[in-house]
Amino acid sequence: MVETTTAKTKAKSPSPERTSTSVTETNGKSTNANTSESLVAVPGESSSSTESEAVNMEIFEQILELDDEDSHEFSKEMVTAYFSQASSTFKNMDKALAAKDLPELSSLGHFLKGSSAALGISRVQNACEKMQHYGNLRDDDGVAAIDKAEALSRMQVLLPETKSEYAEAERWLKKFYKEKKAPFDDDGGDPPPTAATAS
């Protein structure tokens, strides 16, 4: 789980444990990670239906405030950890879906939802919330009950969509740090596995 802290403890990477964070603490200020305002398109590109609202800047700027004035090292470490967590989580999601393991899919959706919320990756957060509900045999809003067959059918559609939302956010973040003269050495984390490559 990617978490913000009130101190710039850069020696430690964000904890990968499965804990959910809906509110981030930044320099003594609480920020609701579910906020849907201040969404922005990919830097340097015009807004489109597929690339707009990639990152919630109201939340992401809270992370940037932890950086030193002349460096983006701290926030970049958090983003790097998120890339790694997302990549491994998508692989586990593919395995769980192949095994029709709905409780595991719900757990993985809950985990990635919290990590995404902490950085303002709102569209991935919202998709993972649906996954969490489907895994618990509930509809999109987590209210009405659905059966296992319906839940699995929805998961088959939702997982590729979630990967697509993640890829857009990853592209936005890579471009952001490149423009800030702090590009990733390998240009970011591994892309989420596709259905064709997943085993």
Q: What are phi and psi of 23, to 5 degrees?
A: -130, 130
Looking at residue 190, the DSSP 8-state letter turns out to be P
Query: What would the two tokens of residue 53 be?
Result: 């609202």
Q: What is the pLDDT of residues 96-119, one digit of tens each?
A: 999 999 999 999 999 999 999 999
From residue 33, how far is each of 14, 153, 168 by CA, in Å? 17, 29, 19
Q: How far apart are alpha carbons 66 and 76 in whole angstroms? A: 11
Average pLDDT rounded to a whole number, residues 155-179? 96
Q: Using CB atoms within 10 A of its CB, is residue 196 exposed (0-12), middle (13-18) or buried (19+)? A: exposed
Tokens encoding 188: 């970011």
Q: Where does 38-179 sit in CATH, by number?
A: 1.20.120.160
pLDDT tens digits for range 40-95: 444 444 344 444 478 999 999 999 999 998 889 999 999 999 999 999 999 999 99
pLDDT recorded at residue 58: 94
Percent of the chain scoring above 90 in pLDDT: 62
CA distance 151 to 132: 10
pLDDT of res. 186: 65
